[in-house]
Amino acid sequence: MARGTDGRRCRDPQHVMLAPGAWIGILGGGQLGRMLAMAAAELGFRIHIYAPEPDQPAFSVAERHTIAAYDDIAQLEVFARSVAVVTIEFENVPALALEQLARFTLVRPSATALATAQDRILEKTMARSVGVDTPAFAEVTAETLQSAVQRVGTPSVLKTRRFGYDGKGQAKIRQPADAVAAFDSLKQQPCILEAFISFEREVSVVASRGVDGSFTAFDVIENEHQNHILATSTVPARIPDHLADEAIEATRRIGDALAYTGVFAVEYFVTGAGKLLFNEVAPRVHNSGHWTIEGAESSQFHQHIRAVAGWPAGSTQRRAPRVVMTNLIGDDVLSVPDIVASKGKSLHLYGKAEARAGRKMGHVTQLFRDADQP
C-alpha cells in the first residue's frame, strides 16, 4: 500500500469523507437541528438527536433521538458510539460535553471553538487578536463595575458573558448612575460592558469552514431586529462592495482563529461612518442564513452537513437578485393561511405546538427577480 502523504491523510479519521448512510449526531433538538436533519437526509445521512427536553422540533424528522442531560457521562458515551461525527445546533451545550464526546468520536466544531464563541469576552478578544474591530468593551464583576463604566462610558450595554440569546441577559446603561441596578438585574453574573453603538445597520456573514481549512461564505446579509429578536434578513445587504469584502475577510480570519469546522455566523454592526464592528459569533447555523434554503445553490444546512462529514462545500451562489426571509414569531403564525394562499412565499414551520410571545415558530422566504422590487 502506498505510504505517501496522501495515503496517510486518507487513513487519518480527521480527513475521511463520511459515506452516505453514516450516522451524524446533533446536540440540541430545536428548529436548527430540525432543518439540519432534513438536509442530512437529503444527502443520505442518518440523524441521531441528543437533547435534554422531550418533544423537540427535530425529533419528528430524525431517525433516532436520546433524551438525556448534557452532563450525563454514560448517555453521552452511548450517543458518541452510535454516530460517526457529532455536531451542535445549540451553542449553550457545555464545552465539557464535547470534550467527553471527543473521546469516542469526531466532534465538529471542537470544544475549544465552542468555549470561545460561548463567552462574549473571549470572542471579542479573539476578534481583536486577528485585527477585527469591536465596540469598546470591559470585563465586569462586582469589583470592576465602576471602573468598567468609567472606561467604556455611557450609553453602554451590559450583557452576561454567557447564555444570552434574543437580547436576553442584557441591560442598557444610559448614565453611570444606572450601572448598579443594571448589574443587579442580571443577578451580578460575570458580564461584559460594551459601548452602545448607534449603528446604521446590522449585517451578518454565514460561512462554512471545511476540515482542511477551506472557506466559503454566502453573500453578506442585512438583519432587522424587533425587540432584540431577528425579524427579517435580506440579501444582499445594502452596503458598499468594499465593506462586504471586508466583512467576509474578517469572518474568514475568525474561522481560522477558531480552527472551526462547520457553518458559523458572525454578526457585525455597520456605523454611520462606514466602519464594521464585530458583535458576536454563533458557532452553528444561524437564523439569518435561513434564506439560503431557497435562495442559494447549497443551503447553510447542506453546507454544515457537508463540512462536518468531511465533504467539500457546495456553491454559495445566490439564486435571485434579492432574497428576503421573515421570521414568524409568536402570533405571526396566525397569518399562515394567507401565506399558504399567496404565490412565491416559501413557508417553513418548526412544528411547535404553542405560539408563545417571542417564540420562533417558523419563517417565510421570498425570492425577488428585481433587486428593487418592494
Give me the helices (H) in 211-329, please: 241-257, 292-295, 300-308
228 binds ligand ADP (CB under 6 A): yes
- Based on the number of CB atoms within 10 Å of its own CB, is 336 exposed (0-12), middle (13-18) or buried (19 or more)? middle
Cα–Cα separations (whole angstroms), residue 104 to 64, 76, 84, 257: 19, 9, 9, 25
The answer to whether the beta carbons of residues 224 and 312 sit under 8 Å apart is: no
- Name residues contacting Mg ion, limited to 256-315 (CB under 5 A): 267
Closest CB to Mg ion: residue number: 267
Q: Which residues contact 347 (CB under 8 A, 6 or more apart)?
A: 336, 339, 340, 362, 364
Write the interaction track for ligand ADP spanning residues 148-187; mark x where CB under 6 A is met and - where it is not.
---------x------xxxx--------------------
> CB 221 → Mg ion: shortest distance, Å?
13
Candidates 25, 33, 57, 135; binder of ligand ADP (CB under 6 A) is 135
Write the interaction track for ligand ADP spanning residues 299-338; mark x where CB under 6 A is met and - where it is not.
----------------------------------------
Torsion of CA 38, 44, 46, 50, to 10 degrees: -40
Nearer to Mg ion, 202 or 332 (CB): 202
| Total number of residues that touch ligand ADP (CB under 6 A) | 15
Nearer to Mg ion, 219 or 267 (CB): 267
Torsion of CA 346, 350, 355, 357, to 10 degrees: -80
- Name residues contacting ligand ADP, limited to 247-306 (CB under 6 A): 267, 279-280
Nearer to Mg ion, 83 or 203 (CB): 203
Task: Tell me the C-alpha distance between 153 and 372, whole Å.
Answer: 40
Task: Tell me the C-alpha distance between 278 and 355, whole Å.
Answer: 32
The answer to whether the beta carbons of residues 132 and 249 sit under 8 Å apart is: no
Candidates 202, 219, 222, 332; binder of ligand ADP (CB under 6 A) is 202
> CB 199 → ligand ADP: shortest distance, Å?
6
96-123 as b/e: b if 16+ CB within 10 A? ebbbbbeebbbbbbbbebbbbbbbbbeb
Nearer to ligand ADP, 167 or 274 (CB): 167
> CB 144 → Mg ion: shortest distance, Å?
24
Candidates 196, 232, 294, 330; binder of ligand ADP (CB under 6 A) is 196
Nearer to Mg ion, 135 or 210 (CB): 135
Q: Angle, to 10 degrees, between the axis of helix 241-257 and the axis of helix 120-129?
A: 110
90 binds ligand ADP (CB under 6 A): no
Nearer to Mg ion, 22 or 186 (CB): 186
> CB 279 → ligand ADP: shortest distance, Å?
5
The answer to whether the beta carbons of residues 68 and 84 sit under 8 Å apart is: no
Cell digits for 184?
A: 443587579
Nearer to ligand ADP, 18 or 152 (CB): 152
Binding site for ligand ADP (CB under 6 A): 135, 157, 164-167, 194, 196-197, 202, 225, 228, 267, 279-280
